[in-house]
Structure 1
Amino acid sequence: MKTKPVALIIGTGIGGLSCAAALKKVGWSVRLFEKADSMRATGSGLSVMSNASAAMKKLLDIDLGLEHYGAEIRNFEIRHKSGFLLKRLPFQEIAEEQGSPSVCISRQQLQTALLDNLGEVDIRHAKRFASYDETDDAVHVTFEDGSKASGDILVGADGYYSAVRDAMGIPSQVQEAGYICWLALVKYDHPQITPGYVVHYWGKGKRIGIIDIGGGWVYWWGTANMSNQEAVGWSGTSADVAKVYEGWPTIVSDIIHATPNEAIITVDAKDRSFPATWSKGRATLLGDAAHPMLTSLGQGAGLSIEDSAVLGHVLSTSTDHQAALRRYESIRQPRAKAIVDASRALSDVEQYDQFLPRLKRDVGMLLAPAKTMRERLQASMLFDDFAVHAQ
């Protein structure tokens, strides 16, 4: 009886679990290793745009069913800080065209959805990656506790501070964005927050988003320009955050004040320089370990899932694992870089604090033709499986 090939996956975040689901689907044995002593998901939310579910469905016939765990986007608005509506974006229409929903969801629920899809799987906790080496027919990982594991390939899905990336000798420099992000989940009821509702308010060097994630829960995030050093050292309360948005629509202050201080997560906004390569020999990178990005396009989770679908696809079509990893990289890098660059460019525009650039931004959004807005969104939200099969 032929033995299944084995993938060693470092990290059990969105990328690691998605990768495990994809490789398990195509007949691989997967072993996941997590440095924490249990499965954890921070108390915030995110979006999984339609391209992610479409990639899994089209390439691997995996239906993630995320709409059963979160809230499908039905109404996405961009508003001025005064409350004036600048634009409704056609997220739902694009998702329906692709046949896969765009979903806003808590990290906890997304983790649950991926684990439900995975079923029985080998996950080892308290395993902090230390190093790896290769032989002619295998890759061997050593953990900080001295234990070892061997497999056919190694996947670094261990996030922004990837130890696997460092061990591979792939340089990736921190790029600070110059603003703070506040993230929170709160149980909150408001007539403006209808099922599948998303609104982003834009102001002077600051933004805030309010998002339905289902079950009466709302995910909100806010940003404000400051140095990354100030952001790292920021310590305040929900009342302090609310002061940042003084004079904005009452829903903004109401939802912030309704949030317990301990429920607010603070991070400094940053991404990394885009690596020239993700793969070496039997090792490769996936998700934030390969291409961390700013959040403006809401595609961090989606690209991790896309990566996983493509990796599963190429490994199912070749017995030469190293060649498959190189093909995976060649397929994924152009799209990932385009979205990373677009996310940073949009972030810069959204965080404008000078009057004239802000005026141009807001008027441009107000007057942009529907066709133009649709084309811009489609660039990231439509997954092209034909391009994958062509390579």
Structure 2
Amino acid sequence: MTKAIVVGAGIGGLVTAVALRRVGVEVEVYERASEPRVSGTGLSIMSNAVAALRGHGIELALEDRGRAIETFHLNTFDGRPIRAVPVKSIGERLGAPSVCVHRADLQAALLEAAGDCPIEVGAEATGYTADGDGVRVDFADGRTARGDVLIGADGFHSAVRGQLVGPETPRDAGYLCWLATVPFRHRALPAGHVGHYWGRGSRFGLVDIGHGRVYWWGTSDVPVWDGGKEQVLRAYDGWAEEVRAAIAATPADAIVGLAARDRPFLRRWGDGPVTLLGDAAHPMLTSLGQGAGMAVEDGVVLARCLAGTADPRRALRRYEDERRARTRQVVRASRALSRFEQAGPPGARLVRDTSFRWMPEPLLRRLNESALTFPATTGTRNT
């Protein structure tokens, strides 16, 4: 039986552990935090990721834990409609909804699905050594782990990626993001609604994640955040009433601020018995809401490639080959959409709003379906 060491117990790491165990791979998970993360804000598991999970026999009851998207509207900063995006009807055609959920609820569902899978916490990976028998992983506290393969699912600051490719400089998108989840109800936010608001060098999103909670995010070209709620309120002065109300209802210490950034796309994700997955392999900006979805797809495809294989190293290369084009396209599209939506100059904003308002419906559907469709995989071929 193949044994996999998974470094990282986030969304990608846990999906991978669950998926691998379903195809008979022995798994050990190591997480640098003192416990698997149960905090955070909201995220979306779009139709492609739901289809990937279901196709692998993984049912997480996401619609009970979060809220399926019923309506998705693009608006001007002050709430005037630009365009409705047919996310629900695309999901109906694909046979899988898009669901918005709190990260902690998704994490809890994955931990339940992982069952008795060994998960060791407080285990900060410091390096690995590959040899003819597999790979050994070393941790800061002196622990070691050995397996046939090592899967680096340890996020944006991946230690596994750091050893694999060497020092890198993150790619800054030039704006800040604010994130929060808060109990909130408003007439402009019906059940299952997602609303995006576009301003000048700034955006805002209101997302129903179920159970009376809203996940909101904002972006701004301001160079730094002073850590205060007042700066966030000032950034959205004059915006739609529901935007201001959501910020006002949020405790200051519930707002998370971070710089928007990704990394240049890697042509090589692995070597020998080592590979990368999720944000460790292909971190992306958030404009398409596909960061978690790509990690889910990665985990399912990796499991299919490793299922019953006699040559796990070759299976890792096949996984990387299957995922490279898909994730490169989503990384590029996320960055391009980010630049387009974050438009500052008046002319650029006019082009942005007009192009979406008058985009032919078939083109709008086709662009969204390309991201929301889990591609057929050939990873079931065993070697």
Q: Could you state the TM-score of these two structures normalised by the residue count of structure 2?
A: 0.97
Equivalent residue for 1:264?
Answer: 255
User: Partner of 1:254: helix, strand, or coil?
Assistant: helix
- The alpha carbon displacement at 1:386 in A equals 5.0
Equivalent residue for 1:56?
Answer: 53
Equivalent residue for 1:201?
Answer: 197
Alignment of 1:140 onto 2:139 = no
Equivalent residue for 1:168?
Answer: 164
Counterpart contact for 2:201–2:342, Cα < 8 Å: yes
- The alpha carbon displacement at 1:36 in A equals 1.1
1:95-174 equivalent positions in 2, closer than 5 A = 95-169=91-165, 172-174=168-170
1:272-287 equivalent positions in 2, closer than 5 A = 272-287=263-278
Counterpart contact for 1:206–1:222, Cα < 8 Å: yes
Quote the Cα distance in structure 1 between the aligned partners of 2:264 and 2:98.
28
Report the residue type matching 1:30 in the other structure.
Answer: V
- The alpha carbon displacement at 1:388 in A equals 5.4
Alignment of 1:86 onto 2:82 = yes
Aligned length: 382
- The alpha carbon displacement at 1:135 in A equals 2.1
Q: Deviations over 1:128-175 (max 9, x none)?
A: 101111221221111111111111110000000100011223565410
Quote the Cα distance in structure 1 between the aligned partners of 2:359 and 2:368.
13
User: Partner of 1:146: helix, strand, or coil?
Assistant: coil
**Out of 14, 17, 23, which is 1:17 matched to?**
14
Equivalent residue for 1:357?
Answer: 348
Report the residue type matching 1:315 in the other structure.
Answer: L
- The alpha carbon displacement at 1:389 in A equals 6.0
User: Partner of 2:269: helix, strand, or coil?
Assistant: coil
Counterpart contact for 1:70–1:105, Cα < 8 Å: yes
Equivalent residue for 1:41?
Answer: 38
Equivalent residue for 2:176?
Answer: 180
Report the residue type matching 1:29 in the other structure.
Answer: E
Quickly say closer, same or farther: Cα 1:39–1:390, change in 2 above 3 A.
Answer: closer
Q: Which runs of 5+ in 2 are unaligned?
A: none
Equivalent residue for 1:70?
Answer: 66
Quote the Cα distance in structure 2 between the aligned partners of 1:82 and 1:217.
22
Counterpart contact for 2:23–2:308, Cα < 8 Å: no
Report the residue type matching 1:330 in the other structure.
Answer: D
Quickly say closer, same or farther: Cα 1:235–1:42, change in 2 above 3 A.
Answer: farther
Counterpart contact for 2:305–2:380, Cα < 8 Å: no
- The alpha carbon displacement at 1:121 in A equals 1.5
What is the CA RMSD across the aligned residues, in angstroms? 1.5
% identical aligned pairs: 43
Report the residue type matching 1:167 in the other structure.
Answer: Q
- The alpha carbon displacement at 1:62 in A equals 2.1
Quote the Cα distance in structure 1 between the aligned partners of 2:362 and 2:67.
26
**Out of 293, 300, 303, which is 1:309 matched to?**
300
User: Partner of 1:385: helix, strand, or coil?
Assistant: coil
Quote the Cα distance in structure 2 between the aligned partners of 1:390 and 1:129.
32
Quote the Cα distance in structure 1 between the aligned partners of 2:150 and 2:131.
13
**Out of 5, 10, 28, which is 1:8 matched to?**
5
Quote the Cα distance in structure 1 between the aligned partners of 2:308 and 2:26.
16
Equivalent residue for 2:316?
Answer: 325
Counterpart contact for 2:204–2:219, Cα < 8 Å: yes
User: Partner of 2:194: helix, strand, or coil?
Assistant: strand
Q: Deviations over 1:317-352 (max 9, x none)?
A: 522100000000000000000000000000001111
User: Partner of 1:281: helix, strand, or coil?
Assistant: coil
Quote the Cα distance in structure 2 between the aligned partners of 1:338 and 1:211.
25
Report the residue type matching 1:23 in the other structure.
Answer: L
Quickly say closer, same or farther: Cα 1:217–1:251, change in 2 above 3 A.
Answer: same
- The alpha carbon displacement at 1:99 in A equals 1.4
1:213-224 equivalent positions in 2, closer than 5 A = 213-224=209-220
Equivalent residue for 1:247?
Answer: 238
- The alpha carbon displacement at 1:57 in A equals 2.3
Report the residue type matching 1:262 in the other structure.
Answer: D
